[in-house]
Amino acid sequence: MRESRFLNSDYYSKEGSEEMKKISEMTKAECEQLLAENCRAYDEWKAKNLKLDMSRGKPGADQLALSEEMLSCVDAGHCIDNTGMDSRNYGGIDGLPEAKKLFEELFNKPADNIILGGNSSLNMMYDTIARAYTHGMCEGCTPWCKEEGLKFLCPSPGYDRHFAITEYFGFELITVPMKEDGPDMDMVEELVKDEKVKGIWCVPKYSNPDGISYSDEVVRRFARLKPAAKDFRIMWDNAYAVHHLYDEDQDEILDILVECEKAGNPDLPLIFASTSKITFPGSGVAMLAASKKNLDFIKKQMAYQTIGPDKINQLRHVRFFGTVDGIKRHMSKQAAILRPKFEAVLELLDKELAPLGIAEYTRPKGGYFISVNLPKGCAKRTVALAKEAGVVLTGAGATFPYGKDPEDRNIRLAPSFPPVAELTMAMELFCVCAKIAALEAAVK
C-alpha cells in the first residue's frame, strides 16, 4: 500500500464506503444535494476562523528540537577539527576537512568530488546557474548571457523555486511530464538534441511534490544522455537523500555520478544536497558534488565570491552526528514525527476524496510532500476556498513552469509543519473545498 506512484482513484472506490458513489456516476440532483451539504460544512469551518499554513515544506517545531543538542557541540576551546584546521578563521573554500569526510562517507564520494557550502543548497544552485550565465559553465564555454533563446527542462509537477531561478535568468521553461518512475525520458532524450537546451531540474528521490524516486532505468538513461550543448548539466537536487518515512521499505536510487562516469559522461551531473531538513532549515550545511573537472572550475570561480563558508557550523554537524550511522539514527527520529502526519493526510484523502473519484495522489515513502490531482480545473478553486477559510496551501500551479498548471489539477500538500491535530483540521477543510470545487464543476 505504500507504492510511490499515482494510484488511480478507481482503486479507492472499492475500499471506500460502498454507499459512496463516484461523482461521475451521480445525477445532477445528487451532485447539487452533496454540494449544498458541503457548502454548509464549509460555512461551519469558516466560522472557526482557522489560521493554518500547509504551504511549504517547513519542518515542525518538534523536528527542530531533535537537533538542538547540536547547538552546544562546538564550544570554547573546541574549535579545531581533526585535521588541525581552525574552524573559526578564514579559509577552506570547499569546506572544513573533517566535515567533508563525513559527507564523503554519506555520499560515497572522494574529497575531490565534494564542496561544502553555506546554509542554503538553493543558493548553491542559483550561484551555479548565475556563474554559467556570467562566465560560462565550463572552461571555454560561452557565458549564457551571450547566447539567445536558451531553454531549460522542467519535469512537472516540480519545485517552484527551481523553475523560478531559470525563469529569472530568461530561460524558456520546457515542461516535461513526470511519470511513475521519473521524468518522461523519451521526451528528455529528444529535447536535449537542441543545443539551446542547457539543463534539466531533477529531484530524483522522494521528488517534490510527487514523492517519486527515479527508477534505475531512468537514472541510466540520464547518464547516457548525449546533449547537443556541451554545457548542458543535470541539476540533480538530492534534497531528500536520507529523508525516509519508514525504517524499512526505503527508496534507494542509483548514484548518478557513478552512472555518468560509466557512460563516459562524468561532467553531466551537478548534485546538490543539504542538511536543511536534517538539522535546521536556516542553519544547515549545503553540498555540491560533481566531477573533479567541474569542481576545479567552480572553485576557481568561487574564489571571487567568498573566502569560505561557515566552518564552525560544519564542525557542529560533525560533532553532533559523529558518523553516517548517526545521521541515519537521527533521520529515523525525524521519520517518527513525520509519519503520523503523512498518514493523517492520506487517511482523509482515502476517506473523503478517493471514494468520490475526484482525487489521484501519491503515497510517498519519504520526502516532504503529497501531490494531489483533482479533476481538471479544480485546483485553483480549491486553494482559493481553503484560503478564504484560513488554510494556506501551496498556490495552485506553483508546481509547474511559470506557475501555470495547464490542467489546473495539481495541489502540493505539505504536512510537516502543523501539529497533527491542526493538520487534521486543515485536511478536513481541504477535502470539503475539493469536493465543492469538483461538484461545482460537475453541475455546471
Cβ 224 to a second copy, closest distance in Å? 32
Cβ 278 to a second copy, closest distance in Å? 12
Cβ 285 to a second copy, closest distance in Å? 10
Cβ proximity to a second copy: between 133 and 201 the closer is 133
Integer Cα distance of 414 and 98 in angstroms: 34
Cβ proximity to a second copy: between 80 and 228 the closer is 80
Cβ 423 to a second copy, closest distance in Å? 17
Cβ proximity to a second copy: between 50 and 312 the closer is 312
Q: Are 346 and 336 in contact (CB under 8 A)?
A: no
Cβ proximity to a second copy: between 67 and 156 the closer is 67
Contacts 24+ apart (CB under 8 A), 298-306: 298/115, 298/128, 298/131, 299/93, 299/94, 299/115, 301/131, 301/135, 302/93, 302/115, 303/93, 305/127, 306/93
Cβ 431 to a second copy, closest distance in Å? 27
Integer Cα distance of 27 and 11 in angstroms: 22
Cβ proximity to a second copy: between 144 and 361 the closer is 144
Ramachandran class of 36: left when φ > 0, alpha when ψ lies in -120 to 50, beta otherwise:
alpha
Residue 160 backbone dihedrals phi, psi, to 5 degrees: -60, -35
Neighbours of 442 (CB within 10 A): 20
Beta bridge partners of 271: 236, 289
Half-sphere exposure of 131 (CA within 13 A, CB side): 21
Cβ 92 to a second copy, closest distance in Å? 8
Helix ranges restricted to H, 349-378 = none
Cβ 312 to a second copy, closest distance in Å? 4
Cβ proximity to a second copy: between 215 and 283 the closer is 283
Cβ proximity to a second copy: between 280 and 342 the closer is 280
Q: DSSP letter for 84, please.
A: S
Cβ burial, residue 435 (10 Å; 0-12/13-18/19+): buried
Cβ proximity to a second copy: between 97 and 309 the closer is 309
Neighbours of 403 (CB within 10 A): 14
Q: Are strands 182-183 and 172-179 parallel, antiparallel or unpaired?
A: antiparallel
Cβ 78 to a second copy, closest distance in Å? 8
Cβ proximity to a second copy: between 175 and 276 the closer is 276
Cβ proximity to a second copy: between 166 and 373 the closer is 166
Cβ 145 to a second copy, closest distance in Å? 4
Q: Are 198 and 145 in contact (CB under 8 A)?
A: no
Q: Are 315 and 288 in contact (CB under 8 A)?
A: no
Cβ 319 to a second copy, closest distance in Å? 11
Integer Cα distance of 241 and 232 in angstroms: 23
Binding site for a second copy (CB under 8 A): 56, 58-59, 61, 64-65, 67-69, 71-72, 74-77, 79, 86-92, 118-120, 122-123, 126-127, 130, 133-135, 143, 145-146, 161, 164-165, 168-169, 276, 280-283, 304-313
Cβ proximity to a second copy: between 69 and 217 the closer is 69
Q: Are 197 and 147 in contact (CB under 8 A)?
A: no
Q: Which residues are CB-neighbours of 206 under 8 A, at least 6 positions away? A: 4, 212, 213, 240, 243, 244, 251, 364, 365, 366, 367, 368
Q: Which residues are CB-neighbours of 183 under 8 A, at least 6 positions away? A: 153, 155, 176, 177, 200, 202, 218
Beta bridge partners of 375: none
Cβ 425 to a second copy, closest distance in Å? 21
